[in-house]
């Protein structure tokens, strides 16, 4: 039967859409499965990374439908953001139209892949139907006090008159005009994410994220336990508060270092000889990007500020410095420097010749009272304290003692610091959700009343290349508004929201996408989100930002009583990189554009080799999914991508593997087609194939439930086919069995290659769509394993015969025509069964085995006594290298031995097949002793391992 890939795939895609087979509603009578993929930015066409992401998701969605789950599988577009503005500028248009054009194109690509989304739920964040809820939620957060407006430094380009994102700053210069970027303090909107630091961190222990993601989030939140300690400034009312994780080293403090931006710096050195030095350091630091600053910091610099601080416990007077290595935004922006026990402070002290004091004993290295070469950063017993009561204290005890002393004298307290900062929400850009606030001269900053929402982005804006800044700033209709409180003329806020805000709750909106009255209905979202999203698939690049924002958002939504769960994602799978061959110079360690294949290295001149590198536009090593689908069809591309590697692993693109996968599908199609044309002729293989079918299916269900897709594909697309081929090779040819087989095989094929599965479901004459089919529960009959074991025995005998034949051919001069198989004599079977029974009772063969053997009636047979003894040993004890057979036989082998009536009879019933497989004229099979002992192989015969001789 003909199978036209393109025609068939497109036909079924249309059929599925027409019949609305993927549309779902909440249904409390059915277990749910929420399968979600990371929100795509619609940048034009779908790329291979998307294909991988969605092929994983779609196959899991389809699998869970088969398993009887009510599956929510939505798709939508995260469409706000800079790229659309830039594209609009290029074509002198509006981001809205650019966005919608791109969405249409990516959606067409997705549909062509056959992804089973419920398209009714699709949403686009740049549409007012979505972003109006952003605004409503924002107002709610504002009421709850989670919104803050405060000044913060931003990257600013004077030429372009705009704020730059970190990634738009290259070498501290604007990516567009090349002017040096400065840090500018601007009023910004923040969400108080730090209120949730502890919950965000602690909950990580309970969610099933991959370890690397958890570790990244822990790093990012960066909680550290310590103390805030107040140092007073000598002869002044000012205080310097420092944060330290090592209060136990307080007596080793020999100076205090402030970040150059610290508000006290100016106050301390103003109008003194020290001011100039500080200003210089301050200016140097403030114009550096964070990246440069970290690089520059290798060179530690500091200036004395001319004043002294007083250690609250020892009352020592110590100098105050400003240092470029102290980060203003971490802790209090001030450090108590303990050069004896902190390497960084040690280096600084050496450079500026400041005293170094040891206040912890270093047991490992106690004898060096002379020159100290480095700081001792470990824990040690306190020494040299200014009062006896601390000496000898160690580690946590020491820290706690210092903290409580500080609390007693009100000069400090235990404190926790986080690296995590509040979420800077505002962007000085056009293409984002307008922040619903109004600036009124008399009333201040006031929220837009809920009834006046949404604040819509104007569509009558033309973007031009030469434009800079935010067009909203100059849009009179947008900006001019009356104050909702006093009614006087006021201005709208023109900042828009970070797009991570959009993607922090889109998965909740999917549950109730078309709700026109609220973001979503609580009952509905609770049904779908219970226990979190069951499977969330996406790239590792969102490990920190998106996944953390979304977790935070879910918690504030929960605290607003709009949802019941506090963690949005149940299981998270981060798909691996997609690589493809790229020219590479191993000497220079550089990847080159694919144009350089087989060329010499432009740098060192050596011939370039190749290696796998991440698919990227700059290397040109991308593969266009559309092109591949045009050649091979969606099913082949899906099979390649899912079989190529497990979801988490990286994978390499390979044309030859893709073609091989295409051939595999052709073989499957051929097998399916011919199965439908079989006559109704039953054979002894019918039971075998059905038993194998059940076994494969059980295994398949298990591995697929674990998202072990590669293993799943191996079973559904490789093992099942080769089993079916074996069935046919062994004479299986029964239409009724074929139908029974296909009724399970086609569903197994459908998650990965849905079109071909659906097509044959149809050709087979099944009612309804396979896409909606639910696999019935299987009952596995007990004797399945025995049926399979018999066949395994036959295959093993043929395999070893084949090996032995090769040997025989080398040793025998004449042509080989005859195979003689001597199966194990009955007494060996009897002994084997005896041993198996004893083993199941926990018999100790080492101490009592021989004695037991001697008590058996068979042992009286003196002629074969030696062989009996040997057999017993092989069975129960084994040799130096091998354990006894009863320990190495699998359960199935043991069952077979126990149940085997007559091995030679079984093999004889397959004599024609054996001779055909081995290309022989004569095959003789008998039990040892019932015929001539050809080539003395009788002794080798063992249960399941007959003696084999060729002549």
Q: Interaction with RNA in 710-749: which residues (CB under 7 A)?
A: 710-711, 714, 718, 722, 725, 729
Nearest approach, Cβ of residue 307 and RNA (Å): 20
Instruction: Tell me the site size for RNA, rule CB under 7 A.
Output: 88
Cβ closest to RNA, residue 260 vs residue 432 = 260
Is residue 949 helix, strand or coil?
A: strand
What is the residue whose two structure tokens read 């062994």?
Answer: 730
Cβ closest to RNA, residue 333 vs residue 434 = 333
Contact (CB, 8 A) for 126 and 431: yes
Residues 866-885 that bind RNA (CB under 7 A): 879-881, 883
Nearest approach, Cβ of residue 467 and RNA (Å): 32
How far apart CA 207 and CA 470 sit, in angstroms, is 41
**Is residue 347 within the footprint of RNA (CB under 7 A)?**
yes
**Is residue 207 within the footprint of RNA (CB under 7 A)?**
no
Q: Considering only residues 97, 220, 859, 906, which one is a binding residue for RNA as defined by CB under 7 A?
A: 220
- How, if at all, do strands 680-681 and 733-734 pair? antiparallel
Of 902, 924, 928, give the one whose Cα is nearest residue 914. Answer: 924
Distances (CA, A) of 239 to 234, 279, 308, 408, 491: 9, 21, 11, 17, 41
Rounded to 5 degrees, what are φ and ψ at 439?
-100, 115
Nearest approach, Cβ of residue 106 and RNA (Å): 26
222: left (phi over 0), alpha (psi -120 to 50) or beta: left
Task: Please provide the DSSP assignment of 651-717 as one string.
Answer: EE--HHHHHHHHHHHHHHHHHHHHHTT--EE--THHHHHHHHHHHHHHHHHHHHHTT-HHHHHIIII
Q: Considering only residues 6, 194, 224, 673, which one is a binding residue for RNA as defined by CB under 7 A?
A: 224
Q: Considering only residues 152, 204, 327, 372, which one is a binding residue for RNA as defined by CB under 7 A?
A: 327
DSSP H helical ranges for 113-172 = 128-143
Q: Considering only residues 26, 204, 297, 678, which one is a binding residue for RNA as defined by CB under 7 A?
A: 297
Contact (CB, 8 A) for 154 and 108: no
Q: Considering only residues 645, 771, 788, 896, which one is a binding residue for RNA as defined by CB under 7 A?
A: 645
Residues 410-429 that bind RNA (CB under 7 A): 417, 419
Q: Considering only residues 803, 837, 870, 909, which one is a binding residue for RNA as defined by CB under 7 A?
A: 803
Nearest approach, Cβ of residue 799 and RNA (Å): 6
Helix (H) / strand (E) element for 395: namely: helix 395-408
Q: Binding marks (x or -) toward RNA, 660..679, rule CB under 7 A?
A: x--xx-xx------------
**Is residue 373 within the footprint of RNA (CB under 7 A)?**
no
Residues 65-84 that bind RNA (CB under 7 A): none
Rounded to 5 degrees, what are φ and ψ at 64?
-65, -30
Q: Which stretch binds RNA (CB under 7 A): 450-458, 486-494, 648-656, 686-694?
A: 648-656
Q: Considering only residues 2, 18, 298, 315, which one is a binding residue for RNA as defined by CB under 7 A?
A: 298
What distance lies between CA 51 and its chain's CA centroid?
Answer: 16
**Is residue 657 within the footprint of RNA (CB under 7 A)?**
yes
How far apart CA 928 and CA 934 sit, in angstroms, is 10
Cβ closest to RNA, residue 441 vs residue 666 = 666
Nearest approach, Cβ of residue 356 and RNA (Å): 16
Nearest approach, Cβ of residue 198 and RNA (Å): 16
Q: Which stretch binds RNA (CB under 7 A): 216-224, 309-317, 754-762, 833-841?
A: 216-224
**Is residue 786 within the footprint of RNA (CB under 7 A)?**
no
How far apart CA 304 and CA 290 sit, in angstroms, is 24
Residues 110-139 that bind RNA (CB under 7 A): none
Of 505, 569, 484, 575, give the one whose Cα is nearest residue 535. Answer: 569
**Is residue 1 within the footprint of RNA (CB under 7 A)?**
no
**Is residue 888 within the footprint of RNA (CB under 7 A)?**
yes
Q: Considering only residues 81, 454, 633, 947, which one is a binding residue for RNA as defined by CB under 7 A?
A: 947
Rounded (10°) angle between helices 891-899 and 826-840: 130
Task: Please provide the DSSP assignment of 168-180 as one string.
Answer: GEETTEETTT-PB
Q: Considering only residues 158, 166, 219, 912, which one is a binding residue for RNA as defined by CB under 7 A?
A: 219
The terminus-to-terminus CA distance of the chain in angstroms comes to 46
**Is residue 800 within the footprint of RNA (CB under 7 A)?**
yes
Q: Considering only residues 649, 702, 796, 817, which one is a binding residue for RNA as defined by CB under 7 A?
A: 649
**Is residue 659 within the footprint of RNA (CB under 7 A)?**
yes
| DSSP 8-state secondary structure symbol assigned to residue 951 | -
Q: Binding marks (x or -) toward RNA, 241..280, rule CB under 7 A?
A: --xxxx------------x---------------------
How far apart CA 93 and CA 433 sit, in angstroms, is 19
**Is residue 946 within the footprint of RNA (CB under 7 A)?**
yes
Nearest approach, Cβ of residue 858 and RNA (Å): 23
Cβ closest to RNA, residue 393 vs residue 709 = 709
**Is residue 386 within the footprint of RNA (CB under 7 A)?**
no
Contact (CB, 8 A) for 867 and 939: yes
Q: Considering only residues 194, 654, 818, 839, which one is a binding residue for RNA as defined by CB under 7 A?
A: 654
How far apart CA 472 and CA 485 sit, in angstroms, is 23
Nearest approach, Cβ of residue 240 and RNA (Å): 12
Contact (CB, 8 A) for 154 and 183: yes
How far apart CA 332 and CA 415 sit, in angstroms, is 11
**Is residue 824 within the footprint of RNA (CB under 7 A)?**
no
């Amino acid at each position: 039967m003909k199978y036209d890939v393109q025609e068939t795939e497109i036909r079924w895609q249309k059929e599925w859409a027409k019949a609305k087979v993927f549309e779902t509603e909440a249904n409390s009578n059915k277990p749910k499965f929420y399968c979600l993929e990371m929100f795509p930015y619609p940048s034009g066409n779908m790329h291979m990374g998307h294909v991988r992401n969605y092929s994983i998701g779609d196959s899991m969605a389809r699998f869970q439908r088969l398993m009887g789950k009510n599956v929510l599988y939505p798709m939508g577009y995260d469409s706000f953001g800079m790229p659309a503005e830039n594209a609009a500028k290029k074509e002198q248009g509006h981001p809205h139209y650019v966005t919608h054009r791109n969405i249409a194109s990516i959606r067409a690509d997705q549909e062509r892949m056959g992804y089973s989304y419920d398209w009714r739920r699709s949403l686009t964040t740049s549409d007012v139907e979505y972003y109006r809820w952003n605004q409503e939620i924002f107002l709610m957060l504002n009421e709850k006090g989670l919104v803050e407006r405060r000044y913060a430094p931003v990257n600013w380009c004077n030429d372009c008159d705009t704020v730059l994102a970190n990634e738009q700053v290259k070498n501290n210069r604007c990516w567009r005009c090349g002017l040096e970027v400065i840090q500018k303090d601007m009023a910004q909107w923040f969400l108080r994410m730090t209120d949730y630091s502890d919950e965000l961190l602690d909950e990580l222990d309970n969610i099933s994220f991959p370890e690397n993601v958890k570790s990244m989030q822990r790093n990012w939140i960066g909680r550290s336990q310590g103390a805030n300690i107040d140092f007073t400034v000598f002869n002044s009312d000012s205080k310097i508060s420092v944060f330290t994780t090592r209060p136990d080293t307080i007596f080793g403090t020999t100076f205090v270092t402030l970040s150059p931006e610290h508000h006290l710096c100016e106050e301390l050195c103003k109008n003194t000889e020290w001011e100039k030095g500080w200003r210089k350091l301050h200016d140097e630091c403030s114009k550096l990007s964070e990246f440069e600053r970290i690089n520059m910091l290798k060179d530690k610099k500091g200036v004395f500020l001319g004043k002294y601080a007083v250690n609250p416990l020892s009352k020592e007077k110590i100098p105050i410095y400003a240092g470029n290595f102290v980060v203003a935004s971490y802790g209090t922006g001030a450090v108590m420097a303990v050069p004896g026990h902190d390497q960084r402070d040690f280096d600084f002290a050496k450079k500026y010749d400041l005293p170094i004091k040891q206040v912890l004993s270093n047991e490992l290295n106690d004898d060096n009272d002379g020159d100290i070469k480095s700081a001792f950063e470990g824990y040690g017993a306190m020494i040299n304290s200014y009062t006896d009561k601390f000496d000898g204290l160690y580690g946590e005890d020491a820290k706690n003692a210092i903290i409580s002393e500080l609390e007693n004298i009100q000069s400090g307290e235990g404190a926790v610091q986080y690296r995590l900062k509040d979420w800077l929400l505002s962007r000085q850009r056009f293409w984002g959700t307008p922040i619903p606030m109004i600036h009124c001269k008399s009333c201040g900053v006031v929220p837009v009343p809920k009834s006046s929402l949404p604040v819509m982005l104007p569509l009558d804006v033309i973007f031009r290349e030469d434009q800079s800044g935010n067009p909203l700033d100059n849009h009179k209709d947008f900006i001019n508004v009356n104050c909702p409180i006093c009614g006087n003329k006021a201005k709208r806020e023109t900042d828009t929201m970070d797009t991570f805000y959009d993607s922090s709750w889109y998965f909740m909106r999917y549950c109730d996408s078309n709700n026109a009255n609220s973001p979503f209905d609580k009952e509905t979202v609770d049904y779908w989100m219970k226990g979190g999203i069951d499977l969330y698939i996406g790239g590792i690049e969102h490990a920190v930002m998106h996944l953390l924002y979304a977790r935070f958002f879910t918690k504030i939504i929960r605290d607003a009583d709009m949802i019941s769960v506090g963690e949005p994602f149940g299981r998270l799978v981060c798909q691996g990189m997609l690589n493809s061959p790229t020219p590479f110079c191993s000497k220079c360690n550089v990847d080159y554009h694919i144009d350089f294949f087989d060329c010499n290295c432009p740098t060192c001149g050596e011939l370039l080799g190749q290696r796998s590198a991440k698919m990227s536009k700059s290397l040109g090593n991308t593969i266009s999914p559309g092109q591949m689908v045009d050649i091979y069809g969606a099913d082949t591309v899906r099979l390649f991508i899912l079989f190529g590697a497990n979801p988490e692993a990286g994978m390499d693109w390979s044309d030859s593997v893709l073609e091989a996968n295409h051939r595999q599908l052709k073989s499957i199609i051929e097998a399916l087609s011919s199965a439908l044309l079989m006559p109704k002729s039953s054979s002894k293989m019918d039971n075998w194939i059905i038993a194998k079918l059940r076994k494969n299916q059980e295994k398949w269900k298990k591995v697929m439930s674990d998202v072990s897709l590669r293993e799943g594909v191996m079973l559904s697309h490789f093992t099942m086919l080769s089993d079916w081929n074996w069935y046919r090779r062994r004479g299986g040819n029964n239409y009724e069995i074929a139908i029974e087989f296909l009724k399970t095989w086609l569903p197994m094929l459908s998650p990965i290659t849905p079109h071909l599965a659906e097509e044959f479901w149809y050709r087979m004459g099944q009612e309804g769509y396979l896409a909606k089919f639910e696999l019935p529960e299987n009952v596995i009959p007990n004797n399945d394993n025995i049926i399979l074991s018999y066949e395994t025995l036959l295959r093993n005998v043929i395999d070893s015969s084949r090996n032995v034949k090769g040997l025989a051919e080398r040793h025998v001069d004449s042509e080989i025509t005859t195979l003689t198989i001597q199966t194990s004599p009955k007494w060996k079977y009897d002994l084997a069964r005896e041993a198996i029974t004893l083993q199941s009772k926990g018999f100790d063969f080492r101490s009592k085995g021989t004695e037991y053997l001697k008590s058996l009636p068979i042992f009286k047979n003196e002629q074969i006594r030696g062989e009996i003894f040997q057999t017993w040993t092989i069975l129960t004890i084994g040799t130096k290298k091998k354990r006894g057979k009863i320990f190495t036989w699998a359960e199935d082998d043991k069952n077979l031995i126990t149940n085997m009536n007559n091995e030679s009879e079984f093999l004889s019933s397959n004599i024609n097949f054996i001779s055909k497989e081995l290309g022989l004229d004569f095959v003789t099979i008998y039990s040892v002793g019932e015929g001539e002992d050809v080539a003395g192989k009788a002794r080798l015969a063992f249960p399941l391992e007959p003696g084999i001789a060729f002549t």
